[in-house]
Amino acid sequence: MSESVPWTFGLEPLPQAYEVARLMRGVAGLVLSLDAAEPAVAKLIEDLRAAEQELLERAPADLAPRLGVDAPLTRRPYLDHGRDIGAYNVCFPEYQIVVEGHRATGTVTFPVAFEGPPGIVHGGVLATFFDCVVQHHNCDLGTAGHTTSLLVEYQRPTPLGVALSFEIDRIADERRITSRGKLRREGDTLCTATVESVAGNRARLPHVAARLKRS
């Protein structure tokens, strides 16, 4: 099975999306850390409401992705979700990853916005994290597909605001991809994940429509 060409499916996010995600994630954590209402937050809410109204006039009314050769132009553009989702979408964690064949390693630090128990990362965020880094690994190797199962086993609480390391080992054939990941802090395993995915067929992917030119 050839895995020489990275798997991409979707458009590159706009540069502003990267900056907005970084700022909103950080600001959300700061707001959650406050003991009282602040004038800066009141102004932020006012500015966000104004921006929301302006963007509603510019964004597509149909939130379905614009996929397929005959996709209506009234739909939104579809962004590549294969890698680095957290860099442009505030709802996902950011991480750094190095892919070296069927093994990948990296680092991640979870901010306050992802808290569950006191000072601890929410377990659902950890599941999302593993799904993201495994898909990134698969896409960089050129064969990816839908996740069919995701098992996360929590061994120790995962702390917020601490640099953590992770590793992924991957086995793939023409039909299935199995990835096993570990999240560690200074050598101690915090949780593990086993992710099963189908090996997709690029030829079956729908056409991704280009961005519309707007005045």
pLDDT tens for the chain, 215 residues: list them: 445 689 999 999 999 999 999 999 999 999 999 999 999 999 999 999 999 999 999 999 899 999 999 999 999 999 999 999 999 999 999 999 999 999 999 999 999 999 999 999 999 999 999 999 999 999 999 999 999 999 999 999 999 999 999 999 999 998 999 999 999 999 899 999 999 999 988 888 999 999 988 76
Q: Is 6 within a domain? A: no
Provide the domain limits for residue 137: 15-204
3-state secondary structure of 141: helix
Question: Would you say the pTM of this structure is higher than 0.95?
Answer: no
Report d(CA 106, CA 133) in Å as an integer: 9
Percent of the chain with pLDDT over 90: 90
Whether residue 109 is contained in a domain is answered as yes
Domain count, the chain: 1
Phi/psi-derived region of residue 161, left when phi > 0, alpha when psi is between -120 and 50, beta in every other case = left
Q: Has residue 215 been placed in a domain?
A: no
Q: Is 213 a domain residue? A: no
- Residue 2 within any structural domain of the chain: no
Look at residue 92 and tell me if it is in a domain: yes
The answer to whether residue 8 is domain-embedded is: no
- The strand ranges marked E within the chain are 62-65, 75-76, 96-100, 103-108, 147-154, 164-172, 176-185, 188-198
pLDDT value of residue 203: 87
68 in a domain, yes or no? yes
CATH number at residue 99: 3.10.129.10
